[in-house]
Structures are given as C-alpha cells and as structure tokens.
C-alpha cells in the first residue's frame, strides 16, 4: 500500500461513506424511524428529507426558471450535537457524513460501521447494491492571481493565443478502475465571493455497484480499497505546493 503524507489541516470539506440498499417491497418511509432510538443520543437533531425536483416549464418555446417541486418524504436526517456528523436514512440507503474539521479515516469508518450494523439489524434490507466513499476537498488558493499548474497536476488549458484567465471551471471524469470500481472525479474552480480568493474543489466519489450480502466482509475490504483509491487520486492531482498549504 502506498503511503501518503499526513496533512495536519486536510482540506476535506466533507467525507461520506454511503450504502445503497434493496429494501423489502412493503417497506414504508416511516419504518426508517425504527432506528431513531438507537442513534438519538449521538445524533439528536432530526430533519425530514424530502426529495425535490426542478420543474422546467416551457413558455413561448423558452424555459422559465426552474421551480422546486416537493415530491414527498423519502427519509430522515440526523445530526450530532455539534452538527459535524450527519446520518441520512433514505429509502435508497444509509449515508454517513463527517463535515470539517476532518478527523481521520479510522474514526469515520468505525462510526459508519456502527450505524450500518444498527441499520441492518433494524431495517433488514434484502441486500446492499452500492457502496461508496466520497471526499470533497476545498482548496483555497492564498492569492487571487495564480496559475492552476502551480496547484494541480491536471490543470485546465486555455488555447494558446488567448488570455489565460479562467474565472470558472468545471470538469467531471468517470474513471473505470479494477473489479468494477468506478471513481467520479470532479474538479471545479470559482472565486470565493467573501474574500475574492480562488477555490479549487476536488470531489472524489469512489463506488462499486454490486449486490452484496448485508453481512459480507467484502463490503469493508472494498471500502478500505476505496480509501486507497481516493488518496491516490487526490495526491496524484495536487502539487507539492498545494500539499504545503495543509501540512
């Protein structure tokens, strides 16, 4: 296993471990609340999750601004007292998020595993059909004039002969890895409106779609593999100069 430098102030805005499941046919969204008593001590703040669609309407052959459509209850969200940890129980699965400041992989995996065990015992899904690890990194560049290549090894390129100033940038690639593991890798850039400093977001979502037995140890070994992959993507994307910002 490759080792990477430990970043004391890692720019991780959010770390997510997610499990999508197949629920029994007669399962109702309210049944998700059977977990509530088991987690309310650690995650006392509850919200309903409603799915929202954007209704696009045509008028005179042009779309009017999208309207938010409330499409009903699909789950519940529970937050820890400090609101840094969030559990989402939805009709399509369980998601655990750690918001900044990041702790460490062992900590979030342990918490996700604890929640998963409760989820499996209470909800009894038929199987797990997708597992994922997503890390969203928020890199604030300390000066407004900068060159992408100083900070990331895969910079956007403006054609020669044009002004080289980029104000917004969004790129998404889907990388097919070994054993049907897939990584969605998004790079986005914009300027922070508060201080006018540039931000580069590196959003790495590594996942595998497969029917796992709910007690399969493969789930946990695969998540460990996801961690290695997301580290590889991250550290092979940032430059030494970027690393130094977070040491």
Q: Which residues bind another protein (CB under 8 A)?
A: 13-14, 16, 18, 20, 22, 46-58, 61, 63, 68-72, 74, 77, 86, 88, 90-92, 95, 97, 99-100, 130, 132-134, 136, 138, 170, 172, 174, 182, 184, 186, 188, 190, 201, 203, 205, 207, 209
CB of 126 to another protein, least distance (A): 12
Q: How many Å from the N-terminal Cα to the C-terminal Cα in the chain?
A: 21
The closest of 246, 205, 240 to 6, measured between CA atoms, is 246
Closer CB to another protein, 40 or 50, in the complex: 50
Closer CB to another protein, 37 or 71, in the complex: 71
Distance (Å) of CA 30 to CA 26, 35, 69, 76, 89? 12, 10, 21, 9, 11
CB of 124 to another protein, least distance (A): 18
Handedness of CA 69, 71, 74, 76 (dihedral sign): positive
Closer CB to another protein, 102 or 148, in the complex: 102
Contact by Cβ (8 Å): 34, 119: no
Closer CB to another protein, 77 or 177, in the complex: 77
Task: Give per-residue burial for 163-189: e unless 16+ CB within 10 Å, then b.
Answer: eeeeeebeeeeeeeeeeebebebebeb
CB of 8 to another protein, least distance (A): 20
H/E run at residue 93: strand 93-99
CB of 3 to another protein, least distance (A): 25
CB of 39 to another protein, least distance (A): 16
Closer CB to another protein, 2 or 167, in the complex: 167
């Amino acid at each position: 296993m490759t080792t990477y430098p430990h970043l004391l102030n890692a720019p991780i805005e959010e770390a997510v471990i997610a499990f999508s499941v197949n629920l029994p046919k007669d399962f109702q969204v309210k049944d998700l609340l059977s977990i509530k008593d088991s987690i309310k001590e650690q995650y006392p703040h509850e919200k309903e999750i409603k799915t929202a669609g954007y209704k696009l309407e045509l008028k005179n052959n042009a779309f009017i601004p999208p309207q938010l459509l409330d499409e009903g209850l699909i789950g519940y969200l529970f937050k820890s007292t400090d609101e840094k940890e969030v559990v989402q129980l939805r009709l399509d699965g369980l998601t655990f998020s750690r918001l900044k400041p990041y702790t460490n992989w062992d900590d979030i995996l342990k918490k996700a595993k604890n929640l998963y065990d409760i989820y499996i015992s209470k909800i009894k899904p038929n199987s797990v059909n997708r597992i994922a690890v997503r890390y969203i990194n928020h890199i604030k560049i300390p000066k407004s004039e900068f060159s992408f290549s100083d900070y990331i090894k895969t910079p956007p390129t403006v054609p020669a002969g044009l002004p080289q100033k980029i104000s917004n940038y969004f790129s998404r690639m889907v990388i097919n890895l070994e054993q049907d593991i897939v990584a969605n890798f998004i790079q986005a850039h914009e300027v922070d409106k508060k201080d006018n400093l540039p931000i580069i977001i590196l959003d790495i979502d590594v996942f595998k779609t497969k029917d796992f037995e709910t007690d399969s140890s493969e789930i946990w070994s695969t998540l460990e593999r996801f961690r290695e992959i997301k580290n590889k993507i991250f550290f092979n994307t940032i430059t030494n100069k970027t690393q130094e910002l977070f040491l």
